[in-house]
Amino acid sequence: MMCFDYRDEVLHAEGVPLSAIAADVGTPVYVYSKAAIRGRYRHFAEALGPDALVCFAVKANSNLAVLRVLAEAGAGFDIVSGGELVRVLRAGGAADKVVFSGVGKSAADIRLALEAGIFCFNVESEPELRRINALAGELGRVAPVALRVNPDVDPKTHPYISTGLSENKFGIPIERAPAVYRQAAALPHVRIRGIACHIGSQLLDLSPIGDAARRLVALLRTLQAEGISIHHLDLGGGVGIRYRDEEAPSPEDYARAVREALDGLDIPLVFELGRAVVGNAGVLLTQVEYLKIGEGKHFCVVDAAMNDLMRPALYNAYHEILPVRRRGGDSAVYDVVGPVCETGDFFARGRELAGVAAGDLLAVMSAGAYGFVMSGNYNTRPRVPEVLVDGSAYTVVRRRETLDDLLSLENTG
């Protein structure tokens, strides 16, 4: 895992021992590597070429410091809410490099984006198109739009993160798209800019991406024949990462698959990459509270829980779990579980751990994407801090919540 390695048997983030962060900040805590984030983004940007707008999918990790690292590296941003737009702008991102996706854009969200002057709305339904047109008219603006089409391509991923099949809620059926583009062309307050699609997340097989791109090219040709100009193709993202033993596509593999599918078509491209940029740039540190030894099963009870990292409970997702201090000792098989009062509160089942004891620190790896952003306060558990490591230094970029923080929003009626 890039920028996380053992030195003198202690797991480090860049030049900082994770044990030092835990001693200073406490556990649980998310730790991110600035070098890993910046390096991974630049790797994709270089592979995809200088004319591509490579957007970071803010839903993967919306911490302001993470967004600032990416903005400074030249990233655009893919958002799905007005709140994410405010985060991008506060972090120094450029509004004219923002694409706005999502099936449920509210009127307030659309107004905010119009006033900011974003690059493009990825429109997901005909009612949304009409709403954008009406709101743009009220504000005296012309809204740049692309239709997010649903190409009905099987992404071969987990059903919860599949977005490109006809049964999914996302996008406009590709067969319907020409008619909706004709509607858009007749509206006075929108300007057609592109065609967009996104078929799913954690994609390890690139062939569905190529299939979707070819269907977009065919749609482009149809629209051009009708006199409708298209100025960019937004091919989404969804490139997978290694959590366990997967063979994840490289940025070069991804770029090659896209180029082959476009078959020489010269048009600006937009990409929306999230997990592929930050997934392996973060870990969740947790401390062992108890080893609970049963007759048929052993439990390693840690202080992090499903409210801190939901992916295992939600998707049965695999995350590697490593000791922060590596030492010898007999191995045993444990379910690694948290303190939340749910059977689904686990990080691993049947996982072999060597020499683990109460008080030890464990690192839940590959937690930089869809970790903190999906966390909550179930069981009145304050959300954990986030730390950004830069070389031999680190900064707390979000403090730990307190119970007073949580209760301050409520009253007794």
Strand ranges across the sheet with 10-13? 4-7, 10-13, 16-17
Whether 341 sits among the annotated catalytic residues: the reply is yes
**Do the domain assignments include residue 218?**
yes
pLDDT at position 163: 45
Do 299 and 345 form a contact (C-beta atoms < 8 A)?
no
pLDDT range class, residue 165, cuts 50, 70, 90: very low
pTM for this predicted structure = 0.94
Stretch among 72-86, 155-169, 297-311 having the lowest mean pLDDT:
155-169
Domain end, chosen from 222, 254, 273, is at 273
CA distance 153 to 124: 17
Q: Where in 140-213 does DSSP place strands (E)? A: 143-150, 172-173, 190-196
Do 75 and 54 form a contact (C-beta atoms < 8 A)?
yes
Domain that holds residue 361: 4-32+280-407
* Residue 378 and residue 290 in one domain: yes
CA distance 250 to 177: 32
Average pLDDT over residues 70-94: 98
**Do the domain assignments include residue 224?**
yes
pLDDT at position 299: 96
pLDDT at position 330: 85
CA dihedral angle for residue 379, residue 380, residue 381, residue 383, rounded to 10 degrees: 130
Return the CATH number at 346: 2.40.37.10
Q: Which of 326, 384, 308, 388 is nearest to 36 (CA)?
A: 388
* Annotated catalytic residue, options 3, 120, 300, 341: 341
* Residue 210 and residue 342 in one domain: no
How far is Cα of residue 401 from the mean position of the Cα atoms in its chain? 23
Q: How many CB atoms lie within 10 A of CB 52?
A: 19
* Residue 246 and residue 312 in one domain: no
Q: For 330-380, how does the pLDDT look when each residue is reduced to its tens digit (9 = 90+)?
A: 899 999 999 999 999 999 999 999 989 999 999 999 999 999 999 999 999
* Residue 102 and residue 224 in one domain: yes
Domain end, chosen from 243, 273, 303, is at 273
pLDDT at position 168: 55
pLDDT at position 368: 98
Please count the structural domains in the chain. 2
To 10 degrees, what angle do helices 126-139 and 107-116 make? 50
Q: Helices (DSSP H) in 232-280: which residue ranges?
A: 251-262, 275-278
What the block records as the tokens of 144 is 């740049």
